[in-house]
Amino acid sequence: MKPIQVGLLGIGTVGSGTFNVLQRNQEEIKRRAGRGIEITMVADLDVARAQSVVGPDVKVVNDARAVIANPDIDIVIELIGGYGIAKALVLEAIAAGKHVVTANKALLAVHGTEIFAAASAKGVMVAFEAAVAGGIPIIKALREGLTANSIQWIAGIINGTTNFILSEMRDKGLDFDVVLKEAQRLGYAEADPTFDIEGVDAAHKATLMSAIAFGIPVQFDKAYVEGITKLGAADIKYAEQLGYRIKLLGITKRTAKGIELRVHPSLVPSKRLIANVEGAMNAVVVQGDAVGTTLYYGKGAGSEPTASAVIADLVDITRLHTADPLHRVPHLAFQPDAMSDLAVLPMSEVVTSYYLRLRVADEAGVLAQVTGLLANAGISIDAVLQREADEVGGEGATSTDLIILTHDTREGTMNDVLAQMQALPSVLAPITRIRKEELN
Ligand code: HSE
């Protein structure tokens, strides 16, 4: 049988990796897929550079629409990124009857409903394993491997840049700004790292996992998103003293009231495996009612790790493209007419526990005032740590750091208490609040 023909839109880091791995492993991939898979056409603005990557036998153009219009192309891989031209091209490829493979988490998290509906109407597949956690086959695991389960929660380190920064902050005791500059110098962080450090990239990925886990539409606009830019070395150190590490987690959870969908720094007990995921690595924990806790670990970015996921999608499509569309794996794991209308909860309704750090006047009665406010609100304290005044502020200091770990409470209740604490004359600086996840 003649090879299935693939057109590639954008041949940067992931595109080159995809081309190279497909070539290197072509025989083995063919034995798995049942027929060869060949990239026969590439569109890239830099035609000369693209041609040098793929060699003279592959047609390279600077117009992505020429790839979509080519009747010989069965599958289009979109590796342009972003919501702009990528969205138009994906919809045009679908309209032209092409199957689509994309690594574009931003596009699917924001416009997934429209894109999956268009694909279903046209009877084509949109595959996106590479969009979440790079080379880790987490989409496959959630959508197929765990299909027996009622999934209860997912918590993941799904942004390598921020995990690298947090690991460096902890290892070297440095503040965020210093490590970010170093990460940029080493090429770990983008020149514009906003989406990574503000949690947006992780929220795109969490949104996709949430939809697949719970059978709800993709709803990035409902996700709570908080990045790591305000974290200080002191909080990482205090967390460590209390037996925790701070990680940027993407969390989605099924509760009696609705779905939690949130990205924020979290204290995680140091003894959990996920707390020990360091550097740019990714890891996702999934809790299912039948399977219990499962953990997926690997490289969440990079040329060949991400290519590994892109090619897995190419193989899936090659195996399934002649199947009746109704017999394929649904885009979001659940049949489109059987989606749930469970609401994504506002952050004020989320229930979790907290780490609080207060810079307070080192005088009698302050601890009682602070803990009194927690008691009045029904918030139970798990641990308290007070640093000696001269350890924090030097010899003769008159202020100190008070660190409190709480048990679970509603975020809205905690917000009210924090406002009251902040207004106390003995609280001398803005209070730091970091959520805490036991993940048990
Ligand atoms: N920028 C992402 C990260 C990789 O740092 O993990 C692509 O999503």
Whether the per-residue pLDDT at 389 is higher than 90: the answer is no
Distance 126 CA to ligand 1 centre (A): 21
pLDDT, tens digit, for every residue of 148-194?
999 999 999 999 999 999 999 999 999 999 999 998 988 878 788 99
Residue 196, ligand 1, Cβ within 6 A: yes
Cα–Cα nearest to 307, from 37, 21, 8, 53? 21
Q: How many other CB atoms sit within 10 Å of the CB of residue 426? A: 18
All CATH 3.40.50.720 domain ranges in the chain, comma separated: 4-137+303-338
Mutate to test the pocket of ligand 1, among 104, 136, 159, 303 (most ligand atoms within 8 A of CB): 159
Which residues, other chains included, contact 327 with Cβ-Cβ below 8 Å and sequence gap of 6+? none
The least confident of 131-135, 296-300, 385-389 is 385-389
Domain 139-299 = CATH 3.30.360.10: yes
Q: What's the pLDDT score for residue 246?
A: 98
List, for residues 6-26, the tens digit of each pLDDT value: 999 999 999 999 999 999 999
Residue 248 has pLDDT above 90, yes or no: yes
Global pTM reads 0.96
For the Cβ of 159 lying below 6 angstroms from any atom of ligand 1, the answer is: yes
CATH topology of domain 4-137+303-338: Rossmann fold (3.40.50)
**Which residues, other chains included, contact 106 with Cβ-Cβ below 8 Å and sequence gap of 6+?**
81, 82, 83, 195, 200, 201, 204
CB atoms within 10 A of CB 97: 12
Q: Is the minimum distance from the CB of 265 to ligand 1 under 6 angstroms?
A: no
Distance CA 66, CA 195 (A): 31
- 387 pLDDT band, cuts 50/70/90, is confident
How confident is the model over 20-65, as pLDDT tens digits?
Answer: 999 999 999 999 999 999 999 999 999 999 999 999 999 999 999 9
123 pLDDT more than 60:
yes
Q: What is the number of the ligand 1 atom nearest to the C-alpha of 160?
A: 6
Q: Hey, whose CA ends up nearest to atom 4 of ligand 1?
A: 301
User: In terms of Cα–Cα distance, which of 280, 221, 286, 213 is closest to 248?
Assistant: 280
Mention the CATH class of domain 349-436: alpha beta
* Strands 244-254 vs 259-269: parallel, antiparallel or unpaired: antiparallel
Average pLDDT, the chain: 96
Kindly state the average pLDDT of the residues 386-391.
67
Q: What pLDDT digit, counting tens, does each position of 266-275 carry? A: 999 999 999 9
Kindly state the tokens that stand for 379. 């918030």
Active site residue 205: yes
Q: What residues form DSSP beta bridges with 357? A: 403, 432
Amino acid at 332: L
Q: Which residues contact 118 (CB under 8 A, 6 or more apart)?
A: 91, 94, 95
Task: List, by residue range, all CATH 3.30.360.10 domains of the chain.
Answer: 139-299
Write the DSSP symbol of residue 227.
-
Intervals of CATH 3.30.70.260 along the chain: 349-436
Helix (H, G, I), strand (E, B) or coil at 140: helix
- Are 184 and 197 in contact by the 8 Å Cβ rule? The answer is no
Distance separating alpha carbons of residues 216 and 332, to the nearest angstrom:
8
Q: Which two tokens stand for residue 82?
A: 């972003």
